[in-house]
Amino acid sequence: MKYLPLDSKIFIENRKRFIKEMEANSIAIFNSNDELPTNGDALFKFKQNSDLYWLTGIEQEDTMLILFPANPDPKYREILVLVRPNEIKEKWDGRRHRREEATAISGIKTIVWLDSLDALLQPMIHLAETIYLNTNENDRKANLVPVRDYRYAEEMRMRYPLHQYRRSARILKALRAIKTPQEIVVMQQAVDITEKAFRRLLKFIRPGVMEYEIEAEIYHEFLRNRATGPAYGSIIASGDRARTLHYVSNNEECRDGELILMDFGAEYGGYCADLTRTIPVNGKFTKRQKEVYNACLALHNYAKSILKPGITILNYTEMVGDEATKQFLKIGLLTKDAVKNEDPENRAYRKYLYHGISHHLGIDVHDLGTRTEPIKAGMVFTIEPGIYIEEEQMGVRIENNVWITRTGNKDLFENIPITAEEIEKLMKK
């Protein structure tokens, strides 16, 4: 790992929170993700199962976690299962965790090698009444590949058909949505690295630069500050390409007079930042560009002012839509007749703002959390309204990350330039 060691209390506390929600006399088993092939004998870069990482901090493949709070032997109430270090394999693929290293990361004292697990696990299963197994219940999931969690669930049901089974994901969806102060410390580090990259870009961008050169500057700044890398595929979209929400080709020239929309964020310690800024390629907004930018900023600030405990994402989105309608009338995108005659299921403002305003953020960029239940203190959200005008070949989006607390929002990006005047001043330097 490139990042500095995290405090194991993060993962100790996360396990305590999960164990508190388990039924009496139950056992929970978590698996790491698969190593996935690309072509030939190559593998994709390994990415740990987010739930397992949230509970342990371990990023190594072939890892398992077993939680059995009612185990008569206290030693086996928390078990971290690792692949046994192999001298030959390590010569090719690098060092694997030793027991003491894994304990330092996770706070788990009992470490068991994977090749000796079966004999240990079966007696514990026989003692338990209920087995918690994990699956991916992210509402945005689109992967139909039968990954390890699903294969393991099928195997367990075949071997132990008379046990009761429960979904770990249902608990984790609620718990992971609420960030602890220790988690926010790590997220703030990801944000601070992202800020450094943005300030670097303000000095670098000029007419004639290529989008991929900007992406390279971002990646350089991330790595030199110990980030794992980008939290997601960076979007560097100049001109009309800014209207493509997930534009990641990043292969065109940035021209004089255009705006450039940049959506990127660092990953640090397994946690993500998610920033969007839109700036003028030549360092100076035109009158119209500034008008649209300021309307987007007003919408951003309004959204931040109403995103509080008690509101649902659905109600929040509807209220932001009302404000977007007002802003779009002001800058001439909508007419009063268009608003008066709009379809309630496809409101007029949606022509110029066709995506959601906020999503949960954490270990995953689109992190676990509900859209229908009231927002709670401790959640972290993006706030990212946009204005996309086909007729003017222009796209503007402004995105910050906020931590919802009982005393108000904490904007994790509060130190990152956001007004048109701040951006122009820094680009002039």
pLDDT tens-digit map of 281-332: 999 999 999 999 999 999 999 999 999 999 999 999 999 999 999 999 999 9
CA distance 258 to 393: 9
Give residue 146's pLDDT band: very low, low, confident or very high (50, 70, 90). Answer: confident
Question: Across the strands, what pairs with 43?
Answer: 37
State pLDDT tens for residues 195-226.
999 999 999 999 999 999 999 999 999 999 99
d(CA 400, CA 383) in angstroms, rounded, equals 5
For helices 181-204 and 9-21, angle between their N-to-C axes, nearest 10 degrees: 130
Dihedral sign of CA atoms 232, 238, 242, 244 in order = negative
Closest CA to 367 of 93, 98, 175: 175
Taking 90 as the threshold, does the pLDDT of residue 140 lie above it? no
As a whole-number percent, the residues of the chain with pLDDT over 70 amount to: 100
What does pLDDT average to over the chain?
96
Both tokens assigned to 92: 């090719």
> Which pLDDT tens digit goes with each residue over 59-110?
999 999 999 999 999 999 999 999 999 888 888 888 999 999 999 999 999 9
What local confidence, expressed as pLDDT, does residue 411 receive? 97
d(CA 88, CA 96): 12
Helix (H), strand (E) at residue 67 = strand 64-67
**pLDDT at site 151:** 95
pLDDT value for 377: 97
- SS3 label, residue 255: coil
Q: How many other CB atoms are found less than 10 A from the CB of residue 85?
A: 13
**Cross-strand bridge partners of residue 396:** 387
- Map residue 128 onto helix, strand or coil: coil
Q: E strands within 376-416?
A: 380-383, 386-389, 394-397, 400-405, 408-411
